[in-house]
Amino acid sequence: MPADKPPQPRVVGSSEPVPDLRSGTTAIITGISNREFLEKYSLPGCIGLSAGETLIDRAIKRAERHLDPAGRWGSWSHAFIVQGYRVDGFQWVLESDLQFHRKHVHLGVQENRLEKYYDEGFYQTLAILDFGLTAEQLNLLLREGLNLVADRTGYSVRELAGTLLALREPRLRGRPNLLAQDRALYCSAFVQHLYQKIGLDLNPGVHGKNTTPEDLARSSLPHRRYILERPIPPGKLTKLRGQLRRRVGVGLARLKASKGKTPEP
């Protein structure tokens, strides 16, 4: 018998119902806003992934190129856990993040309304990973997450740097983070920690404190994956083309300069 072909991503428009996907398949969602996507696909216990364009977001995605055989940048720079709806009528998330507000800085494990991810200018791409948790698993996961909020578990930029180092040295990925700290977790390490508490290792062979958002997206555990994609705005596309042309021009100029040099005797 011929080998089964791997499941292909299917594109879902805004008018279609939530697809009942087989585990391991991906639905590419188009034509809807961040808010519509999150309200439609976010369930308690699901993992959320986002991608931004800040310097730290780009640094994380660039470092994740070491996970790709072709050296392509990663797609994701942040991860969070969906809690579900609360008495205020809003969905909330658990996450370890760097939050900067006027006269207030919050670094570490925290609760936030899911609506922070409605901002399409800041979060151009989103994903929801549904591992089909049982009610018992969900309660344990949320309880552990809230305990870390109450304990004021911090966000470790130092551990994030250790993870980026491990990406360059694959032999370090399965070992404890070289720059590990107590009572601290960055975003994807926090998500991995919670799932390990309920008996699910999202990335066997990778130490929890060396886990990246891209690792979570590539988990081999059975799950359903929903990805929101939207076309690159014309202005941004023009900017990217300009950057590419400038880089090519600089490269050609350097090549011509090197060819024009007179070799030393």
Digit-coded pLDDT (tens) for 10-23: 445 544 555 555 66
In 3D, which of 67, 100, 11 has the Cα closest to residue 188? 67
Q: Which residue has the higher pLDDT, 265 or 190?
A: 190
CB 38 within 8 A of CB 118: yes
> How far, in Å, CA of 91 to CA of 43, rounded?
9
Domain 10-229 sits in CATH at 3.90.1720.10
C-alpha gyration radius of the chain: 21
Residue 136 has pLDDT above 50, yes or no: yes
**pLDDT for residue 5:** 44
Which residues lie closer than 8 Å to 214 by C-beta, 6 or more apart?
Answer: 61, 64, 67, 74, 75, 76
Q: Is the Cβ–Cβ distance between 25 and 7 less than 8 Å? A: yes
Residues 85-108 have pLDDT tens digits of 999 999 999 999 986 555 556 689
pTM: 0.80
Domain map (residue ranges) of the chain: 10-229, 235-260
pLDDT at 165: 93
pLDDT at 99: 67
End-to-end alpha carbon distance in the chain:
67
Quick one: average pLDDT of 48-71?
Answer: 93
Cα 150–154–159 angle (5° rounding)? Answer: 145
Residue 6 pLDDT grade (very low, low, confident, very high; cuts 50, 70, 90) = very low
Count of CB atoms situated within 10 Å of the CB of 106: 13
pLDDT at 62 over 60: yes
Q: How far apart are CA 44 and CA 116, in angstroms?
A: 17
* pLDDT value at 150 more than 80: yes
Q: What is the pLDDT of residue 260?
A: 58
- Tell me the two tokens of residue 229: 């994609």
Q: What is the mean pLDDT of residues 192-211?
A: 97
Whether 223 contacts 24, CB under 8 Å: yes
Mean pLDDT of the chain: 85
Q: Are 113 and 38 in contact (CB under 8 A)?
A: no
Beta bridge partners of 91: 85
pLDDT digits (tens, 9 = 90+) for 208-255: 999 999 999 999 999 999 999 987 665 554 554 555 455 555 555 555
